[in-house]
Structure 1
Amino acid sequence: MESALPYLVASGCIAVAFLVLRADPLRDFPGPFLARWSPLWMIYHSQNGDMHRTMIDLHERYGPVVRTGPKELSISDSGAVKLIYGAGSKFRKSDWYSVWQGQRKFDLFAERDESIHRAQRRLMSNIYSMDTLKKLEPYVDEVLKVLFSRLSALGSEPVNMGLWAQLFAFDVVGEVTFSRRFGFLDVGKDDGSFGQIDIALKSAAWIGQVPWLFGLHDSLSPLIGNWLGIGARHGSLRKIAADEIEKRKERGSDHHDILQMLMDVHREKPQEMNDMAVLSMATSNIFAGSDTTAISIGAVLYNLCKYPDCKAKLMAEIDPIVQMSRVDHVVSLAATEKMPYLQACIHEALRLHPAVGMSLPRVVPPGGMETSGKYIPAGTVVGTNPWVLHRNKNIFGNDADVFRPERWLGEDRGALERFFFAFGAGSRVCIGRNLGWIEISKLVPSLLLRFDIQLADGQTPLKENCWWFVKQKGLHMTLRPKET
């Protein structure tokens, strides 16, 4: 009898596993074995910083729907993507975003209640519109002049353009939000803010897979203190924003910056936009306004260097337009709008290297959904990874892995733009995208006019770390000043 006991236990375990498997509504969806039973698979790759590339490989292996967790699927099917993220979608953001929001009541990125989000976005839409942000262009110009002056002083040694792009983007955030650059360009380094942001990103990426743990930690933090890096978004970075707000109020400003616009809304609608909401928006500008823009600038410059024919074609477009507009310092936004190939290069670079490298998770609403001939029940978390979607050959063609800006100049551009997820999609598209686009559109041609840029090492593949944002590592370039 004793010798039969192990077999009975094993048989019982197999029977239980079989019953659990039969009751699993997602059992027919393929994916990594561990992901079927535990969030540990997602936690591992979120911490490891390789989620973007891993998901591309999984979709190539398993197809348009991949199981990534006990109750989570990754989807690249174009029809399902439109259903999940399209206009009027009933798919709300998942609890993964609760980690980003914390106790904040005003958070356009993380807010999961659609009615609250709509009300908050209405308050902000005019401030972050392209027409409004164009009025801040002279202040972006001033930061660009500082950047070019510093780059010119560095000589012929390779420079880390990923770092300088982030220093530039961070100083732009300071100038347009608080009427004061942070001064990072002047000294060629930050004050520790970049590290705080990186810690918060890496922490939120993995703990978002187990949001209950964040809730437990949050409730115990008065006793145990902060042990999670995401606390920087709710703590130290928020304090930086609060300090900048107070300094801005004390010194005043000679131009209508974003903070002034936020305070105007607060004054007009104090019940809807209180002091904490102003602080939250200012913090969001600091937290997200530099990384995404710097990553995008790096992506454009890297691909132009990797594809010199495209760089030459872009210069052929830039030169005559600049000569006609007699630009002395930086290329105007109006001039960049007459450069279709420049805009195509930006679209293509952000297609191949979108800033976000993880799924944008949503919850299937009551009634469920169907995709690829299979039913997905309500409550399942589904999402699309921009890196996967942007390489979908059914959408972007068989050369989807290749940098080819011309694809954005064809008649099917509108169809491609519907699946351009570099800034998110639908009603939840990034509200700061217009400011980022202004910075990229102006910096790239202005830089190319002043410098002949080359990769310091064109043979070594660029390293990437994906902790929500996919940051380039070692984007070193040589910049030789051109004769003027």
Structure 2
Amino acid sequence: MSYHQILFGAAGVGVVAVVIFSLCRILFNVFSHPLALIPGPTIAAASNLWLIWRTFTLRKCETLHECLAKYGPVVRIAPDKILISSQKDIKTIYGIGTKCLKSEFYPQWGLNGASNIFSTTDPKDHSVRRSITARTFSKKSVMQFMPELVKHAQALAERLESLSKPSGNSYPTVEFVKLARYLALDMLGSSVLSEDFGLLKRGIEHPFVHDLDSAALVIPTRATVHSWLWAILKRLPIPQWQHHLGGERRLAHYAANTVEAAFSEAAQGKTEGLALVSSYANYEAPDGGRLSTERIVGEVAAVYFAGTDTTSITLSLMVYEIACRPDVQRRLRDEIIEKAGSGSSGLRYDTLENECAYLNAVISEGLRLYGAIPSHLERVVPAGGITLSTGHQVPAGSVVGVQAYSLHRDPAVFPNPDAFDPNRWFHATPEMRKSLSPWGFGSRICMGMHLAYVEFRLALAVLFGNFEVSFPASFDHNDMRMRNFWFVFPQGGKLDVVVKPLSAEVRGDFHIEA
């Protein structure tokens, strides 16, 4: 027998062995796995590939929601993964002090190799990071940035005014998603880096805007696919793909310059900075140690990544729904202008928060339908397993999660759940308020929620207090169908609207004061 015959024979045996092993694994997963009795699609029980495929078709949330409707409140969505739709189990899985820790999905979200408050799976490490970050993102701290945040909202109104000058009897089209992103970055600049980017003022993109796009493509991909596949993907010699892979590095490089400046100020005795970068630069551990530049850069870059497209896309989808409903737009405008006219020095933020009931109902409804991260948040079952409220015994090592997308569309809690109906919040039940969870659950709840609420209230107030928003004749509503690849986004990637300034008689002396 020749050498080549031996080689090909061995290769053939190897292929057969791999096929037999794979078939045995599939049969075990479907029929003998500890989770085999939990209902769900057979193909999902057989392999992780089904869930990965649904992720890359950008319909994971909808698909899993359909599974819950078909199979019940506990569904097997992968060989070792379970999706749960039950308020009663949230405390067990996500509550403070839970032993269900984040899965291995999360460390892949460390930017440029540096872990951050989102990617860390160690509860003690997260606690330290959270204690530092809370100084900036607590509600009290966010209020201290209000003069800057109001200034950015006013810059949005000024930019819209300049872009909406009519040509004859027609008004130009404005791409709102881009402006919402500028607003998010400007507000993060003030609160995270103590820096005024002035993107809305100048209408010019910061270089890292496109790097955020790259990171939003690369990081979820890396976190979703198998490690061996990622090792292949990241070596593909495609120039555009390699450029995207460098987005994290470029974000980190920009953040590093700002962090070094903050360290310099700290060394000179400046310890009063409120921005996140100052909080990290001035942090001193109980043993007197300081945080490294790399760690702070990772944290700051992560905040930019997590805090830009989340709020800007959710805001844009809210604006889309309001533009679709003239009755909603009219009622929202009437409330805002009425409240502005009742004050002696313009409309203040505390009025928006505490007295504009319809505005806040619109925001709640927008968050219900378009929360930025609606899919399940994975947690690993600890030693000893857990018992769900449904009676299911879940063994240690299994991955469990609750999907906000489904909680927000439960018809028993939200009648006519697919409709955008702000009025439902005027007779909200305790179950509705409890089910609204766009920020996550437990101790890992999004720390940027207070800043996001400020952004939503200010942006909607300046937009609908100054303009009438409608669609161009060529508008295709299919482009606004929500897709999800970890973050949500409109199918067409943009929102083209016609923004017509209100007459002086309608608008009056509308303006916002800090």
TM-score (ref. length: structure 2): 0.81
1:184 pairs with 2:204: no
Tell whether the 8 Å contact from 1:179 to 1:248 is kept in structure 2 after alignment: no
State the secondary structure of the residue aligned to 1:265.
coil
Tell me the CA shift for residue 38 of structure 1.
2.0
* Residue matched to 1:392: 410
* Residue matched to 2:501: 481
Write the mapping of 1:245-394 to structure 2, written as runs, cut at 5 A.
245-246=259-260, 256-266=274-284, 271=289, 273-326=291-344, 328=346, 331-371=348-388, 372-394=390-412
Q: Distance in 1 between matches of 2:133 and 2:21?
A: 58
Q: 2:73 aligns with which of 58, 64, 74?
A: 64
Alpha carbons of structure 1 residues 326 and 211: separation in structure 2 relative to 1, 3 Å: farther
State the secondary structure of the residue aligned to 1:112.
coil
Tell whether the 8 Å contact from 1:158 to 1:456 is kept in structure 2 after alignment: yes
* Residue matched to 1:93: 102
* Residue matched to 1:26: 35
- 1:123-169 CA-to-partner distances (Å, cap 9, x unmatched) read 22222111111010111122222222111111221211111101111
Tell whether the 8 Å contact from 2:93 to 2:379 is kept in structure 1 after alignment: yes
The code of the aligned residue for 1:23 comes to: S
State the secondary structure of the residue aligned to 1:447.
helix
TM-score (ref. length: structure 1): 0.86
Q: Distance in 2 between matches of 1:345 and 1:205?
A: 30
- 1:214-241 CA-to-partner distances (Å, cap 9, x unmatched) read 89689x99xxx99888855752211121
Q: Distance in 1 between matches of 2:100 and 2:232?
A: 28
Tell me the CA shift for residue 15 of structure 1.
8.4
Q: Distance in 2 between matches of 1:440 and 1:12?
A: 53
State the secondary structure of the residue aligned to 1:290.
helix
Tell whether the 8 Å contact from 1:39 to 1:209 is kept in structure 2 after alignment: no
Tell me the CA shift for residue 86 of structure 1.
2.6
Tell me the CA shift for residue 425 of structure 1.
1.2
Alpha carbons of structure 1 residues 455 and 339: separation in structure 2 relative to 1, 3 Å: same
State the secondary structure of the residue aligned to 1:96.
coil
The code of the aligned residue for 1:44 comes to: W
1:244 pairs with 2:258: yes
Tell whether the 8 Å contact from 1:32 to 1:67 is kept in structure 2 after alignment: yes
- 1:69-95 CA-to-partner distances (Å, cap 9, x unmatched) read 111122212222332123332211100
- 1:85-117 CA-to-partner distances (Å, cap 9, x unmatched) read 233322111000011126866511111111221
Tell whether the 8 Å contact from 1:333 to 1:441 is kept in structure 2 after alignment: no
Alpha carbons of structure 1 residues 26 and 315: separation in structure 2 relative to 1, 3 Å: same
Tell me the CA shift for residue 407 of structure 1.
2.9
State the secondary structure of the residue aligned to 1:90.
coil
Identical-residue share of aligned pairs (%) = 25
- 1:150-189 CA-to-partner distances (Å, cap 9, x unmatched) read 1111122121111110111112212333333334324535
Alpha carbons of structure 1 residues 251 and 483: separation in structure 2 relative to 1, 3 Å: farther
Tell whether the 8 Å contact from 1:106 to 1:120 is kept in structure 2 after alignment: no
Tell me the CA shift for residue 406 of structure 1.
2.9
Q: CA RMSD in A?
A: 3.4
* Residue matched to 1:166: 181
Write the mapping of 1:26-45 to structure 2, written as runs, cut at 5 A.
26-45=35-54
- 1:418-448 CA-to-partner distances (Å, cap 9, x unmatched) read 3222111110011111111111111111211
* Residue matched to 1:6: none
Tell whether the 8 Å contact from 1:455 to 1:478 is kept in structure 2 after alignment: yes
Q: Distance in 1 between matches of 2:288 and 2:467?
A: 49
* Residue matched to 2:446: 430
Alpha carbons of structure 1 residues 214 and 190: separation in structure 2 relative to 1, 3 Å: farther
Alpha carbons of structure 1 residues 234 and 480: separation in structure 2 relative to 1, 3 Å: closer
* Residue matched to 2:470: 454
* Residue matched to 1:7: none
* Residue matched to 1:208: 223
State the secondary structure of the residue aligned to 1:452.
strand
Q: 1:235 aligns with which of 227, 238, 249?
A: 249
The code of the aligned residue for 1:73 comes to: I
Q: Distance in 1 between matches of 2:405 and 2:187?
A: 27
State the secondary structure of the residue aligned to 2:373.
coil
Alpha carbons of structure 1 residues 273 and 406: separation in structure 2 relative to 1, 3 Å: farther
Q: How many residues align?
A: 468
Tell whether the 8 Å contact from 2:29 to 2:79 is kept in structure 1 after alignment: no
Which ranges in structure 2 are unaligned for 5 or more consecutive residues? 1-18, 165-170, 505-514
Alpha carbons of structure 1 residues 269 and 150: separation in structure 2 relative to 1, 3 Å: farther
